[in-house]
Structure 1
């Protein structure tokens, strides 16, 4: 490159002449809602919001937990697979990993002595790709080895040169231009050009390689070029894709040089080793782990240090990404977006990473508007840099499953480690992250909104005070319910990640005067209640006492009902049922909460599937034949109270009509109703009410009366008292 030629800016582009767009005007940390005061939205119902949260939260965060998902009634409550991971990421000791390799800068130029060459290649583990590259080198005298960073390309290149007897080896400057390459080939027998640097307008062409071959043939020498992510080629250039040997083969080779054969076998059988090999670690990490295993065999390392090593390697890789000046800001924005949308659609991740890039550039360049090329971004190179993969899988949508091309990190611990590193290790990025997450939280797509909440939860687990002040509290106090829901979801997921003090926050918020903050706490109790049912019900019933008569039909009161109903149909159902039955003896506001929540739960189908058996009817059927439980008696008591109280009678009868229609197509539901209805007919008004209902129940969609009604009436008749004369 001539001195007058400017170096290519690695960033997608900046516009230093454009004015700052209104959309990118600075926002205060607490600003979460910029719409006119009268512009609000309706809250998403708790049932669909819970389902969206379960479908769209990262798998490592929820794992097998049934606190949110799982069956509606009697679901098991497991631990959260991600809790231990994020706890280790935040609380674990920071162990430095020192990778092996030749001394000095990775791309230092000059001759490599023979003894150093032999030392660096002595433990090389061969593979099929190496044999292919060796055949090309022997025939063509030059081979271009492409592949991902830290997969052993450099060691393979040196071993290729050693195998053809090319010594000494001269290390060339990676910034050598393709046109100048033949001029750099001196009298050495072997040459290595590692991670060749090219420009888009100066790619490596076939004509360059022909000139190189002619020069190599003059001296009987050989050249290996390793290509990085940003090396540009002409289409006709023949390259060899490097696929490294299996990590276990590399680990065995290095252990063989450090310990005895018996010790190596024992070390390979360790649980920490099996766990390490089960994850797709880079070969440099495998080599470093072999050193740790050898130190363990000498008594210099503890078992917990071996177990910690794998996660430490992930953390160190994340730190390298953000400390490396050669990784562009655009790529760093993509890494952050991929961490937030791990296991999500690639196109969505890329779209939203560009939005984050604009916010980050606004901080770094002081008001510069981002210029992002529409085309030209290589998906393969992006994912290679991120150590991620792309795969097809169905994505849940409101219209049903849709096939999507998704992307995810190879190591499922990377997303949390990355988000924690950015939030705590690079606080200058916080204003951009806050703006970005705000935009995600108000997005129309459920996946985007829920990933905003999940990301906020990870940040809260890493630094609760900052995440609360900058994200969650402003969201909870916002006018728009989308932000309130994001706050509730964030607190829910943060608690599942073992973040301390979340129950205390919810308790305090439930007593707040602000309606939005109270609403947020009530919604969060619907999701977290199964983890702490007694605490949740105490808070919800306390909030019900505070709702005045004029607001009894408002959104907060409705949210209390729905949240309580969700708890009843959760894994903590038996505990909740017992408490609701006890609420019947409480003051009227709490009694109303219990009955309204009970009737709301009666409208939900088992496993939350339309047209399935009513969940509470199925629960009654199971309890009626079980021993040692009184759930059937408690359900009957709530039914009788609902039927007997004027404010709730109409809703109770409507629900029973729905159950009768459902029983017309489900024999098991009919059998359960046949047992339930007589237990409700204990007084004259109850008999008359139920008898009239069964004689007059209309069919579905205006059709003929359900035939099951007559059979249920026959089952009810023996319970009717003899009329007095």
Structure 2
């Protein structure tokens, strides 16, 4: 039994809700679809970019937080009680450079410890001061920083310096770079004159970089191992409890679900101390498993909250520029976690500019041309760099990649910036829209997925500031980004009906750009609620674009998790009385034979196709899902035997087989499949159809 001949039924026999666009000419012959809606942009490398975006941003957090928590209190002023010093001696873990730090402090009377908050700098400073105070018979005190931006406030606080005493001082995070070194010069002279000692805590940033370059006052601080800090605190907290509780707490700390809930490669010492308290409470039965995991999941959001509270302290430019750059770097890392350093750095600079002109529209910020210390900026963002790979489609290239030291930091930063700081939304939205116009999939795909995540957090705002502007541009990349963002947003069940309704209206509207965006969005199979519903929407849209965009979206669905559903719809469309749907089935079949699998990436995981990413989709499906063979054969037979598609199908089949000829594995798959083309179920094809297929094969 041969495939049915091409029926020329009137095109007005359509469902009432079909798109009211004039039917194509009846005499039009189908050609092999060339490329995708983006003419190649977003294909090579898009699969990897989408996969990494999913991995870094698809971590569930709670609902949007309406306001930021109060800023943390500074270090308390005044003498450090003996009980606190005694506890410090029991719990403190010396860092590798402890002896060198003590020697420099004894010799120069002042030491600046440069490192990030929460890493144990304060405890190390107190430990150093306590050691020297024991030798001199003095005490240890904390100093408050009362000056707005410089020495007067500090010098006022040290007027009553006592001989032989040790003092701990923390400079504010926004300490001006130019004032830090002169301030420390004066403090050093003051404490040397009084034969006292001072440890100054300096947060990472321009001031710390300048001090470390000078090599006179400062040393870089490296925290002790978190495991050692955790064990010390657990031992202290459970010292007078039954012996089994300590082992229980240690075993709980090693549980995979706790590590996953933390989402940090290694907690900082301050975090390890907090975790020890929660583990001890859990071991004693005062904290349930669920509550313990909730506490652990709060660590990354807490870190993000602290970062953005720090960034808000300096209120004007140019003093605020270092803090804005640090915030921009963290947000860029949240979007491009694991990407090439060049991508992250450029994105961060673009966002820093947006933040600066939002804060002060009259100020045009420049860029520093030289970095003080390679990697210093990454350390302030709890990020590291290393070797990575970027996929370019036919090849991969090595890159210097950067990533957060913890998988929960990226979504925590993105959510905190969006939910907790409304005035950040405008510059972030403009920044993401600009990134979505970058032709590199390593950029626009990641930006589009991030935009979708943010739309799901606040759909009304995201629709107006992200989705609509992207969909209504003349840039095909931005329209594809809009479709990707809307599909990503529709993962949220509470947002999906709104996205579906929007796409439904676009599909029936007069704006060609909106119709195309709707067709592209349904290619992900998310917005309509199911793959079957997405196929139905694409079938309605087929008349609007002659199958160009809709066939690409159908084949993208075919490369997804439900190929059987797609193949069933295609074979059903072959028998449809509406030519647009028959043509859509034929064009999708031609695309499946000619399009590389990795170019048809989606927003879901399809691990069975990954080993065949470089193969044409049809070959990959035959290898990974042999049960798809009969329907693929039926579709290809129809394309080869129907007059409207026969020429294009012959060319596609020839190219398909020739491509497989250079790969023994692909050739073996095709050799198993091609005999199906000469058989329609249990019956042979009629002589005419069999002759046409035989001629194609003999022409190779």
Q: Map Cα deviations across residues 559-605 of structure 1 (whole Å, 9 max, x no partner).
A: 11222122223331122112211112212221121122112212235
Q: Tell me the C-alpha RMSD between the 2 structures.
A: 3.8
2:225 is the counterpart of 1:246: yes
User: Residues of 2 paired with 1:289 and 1:562: CA distance?
Assistant: 50
2:244 is the counterpart of 1:262: yes
Equivalent position of 1:675 in the other structure: 675
Change (3 A) 1:210 1:690: closer
Change (3 A) 1:277 1:47: closer
2:306 is the counterpart of 1:313: no
Question: Paired residue for 2:181, among 189, 195, 203?
Answer: 203
User: Residues of 2 paired with 1:345 and 1:329: CA distance?
Assistant: 22
**Structure 1 position 54, deviation (Å):** 2.5
Question: Paired residue for 1:684, among 681, 684, 687?
Answer: 687
Change (3 A) 1:200 1:392: farther
Equivalent position of 1:585 in the other structure: 575
**Structure 1 position 273, deviation (Å):** 4.7
Change (3 A) 1:371 1:643: closer
Equivalent position of 1:463 in the other structure: 458
Equivalent position of 1:451 in the other structure: 446
Q: Secondary structure at the match of 1:634?
A: helix
**Structure 1 position 420, deviation (Å):** 1.8
Q: Map Cα deviations across residues 478-510 of structure 1 (whole Å, 9 max, x no partner).
A: 232222111011123334566631444444433
Equivalent position of 2:602 in the other structure: none
Question: Paired residue for 1:226, among 194, 201, 210?
Answer: 201
Change (3 A) 1:273 1:134: farther
Change (3 A) 1:92 1:474: closer
TM-score of the pair, normalised by structure 1 = 0.75
- 2:248 and 2:283 in contact (8 A); partners too: no
Equivalent position of 1:187 in the other structure: 163
2:352 is the counterpart of 1:357: yes
2:153 is the counterpart of 1:159: no
- After TM superposition, list the pairs within 5 Å mapping 1:80-91 onto structure 2: 82-83=57-58, 85=59, 87-90=60-63
Change (3 A) 1:644 1:473: same
Most deviating of 184-193 and 411-420: 184-193
Question: Paired residue for 1:649, among 646, 650, 671?
Answer: 646
Equivalent position of 1:526 in the other structure: 523
* Count of aligned pairs: 615
Equivalent position of 2:317 in the other structure: none
Change (3 A) 1:225 1:664: closer
**Structure 1 position 297, deviation (Å):** 4.1
Most deviating of 460-469 and 128-137: 128-137
- 1:126 and 1:245 in contact (8 A); partners too: yes
User: Residues of 2 paired with 1:237 and 1:687: CA distance?
Assistant: 87
Q: Secondary structure at the match of 1:90?
A: coil
User: Residues of 2 paired with 1:594 and 1:390: CA distance?
Assistant: 47
**Structure 1 position 320, deviation (Å):** 2.1
Question: Paired residue for 1:148, among 116, 120, 125?
Answer: 116
- After TM superposition, list the pairs within 5 Å mapping 1:114-513 onto structure 2: 114-134=82-102, 136-137=104-105, 143-164=111-132, 165=134, 167-172=138-143, 185-195=161-171, 199-200=177-178, 203=181, 215=193, 219=195, 221-229=196-204, 230-231=207-208, 232-233=210-211, 235-237=214-216, 239-259=218-238, 260=241, 261-270=243-252, 271=255, 273-275=258-260, 276=262, 279-324=265-310, 325=313, 328-376=323-371, 378-397=373-392, 400-496=395-491, 500-501=495-496, 502-513=499-510
Change (3 A) 1:348 1:139: same
- 1:599 and 1:655 in contact (8 A); partners too: yes
Q: Secondary structure at the match of 1:328?
A: helix
User: Residues of 2 paired with 1:94 and 1:360: CA distance?
Assistant: 20
- 2:155 and 2:187 in contact (8 A); partners too: no
- 2:230 and 2:276 in contact (8 A); partners too: yes
- 2:114 and 2:202 in contact (8 A); partners too: yes
User: Residues of 1 paired with 2:131 and 2:179: CA distance?
Assistant: 35
- 2:109 and 2:188 in contact (8 A); partners too: no
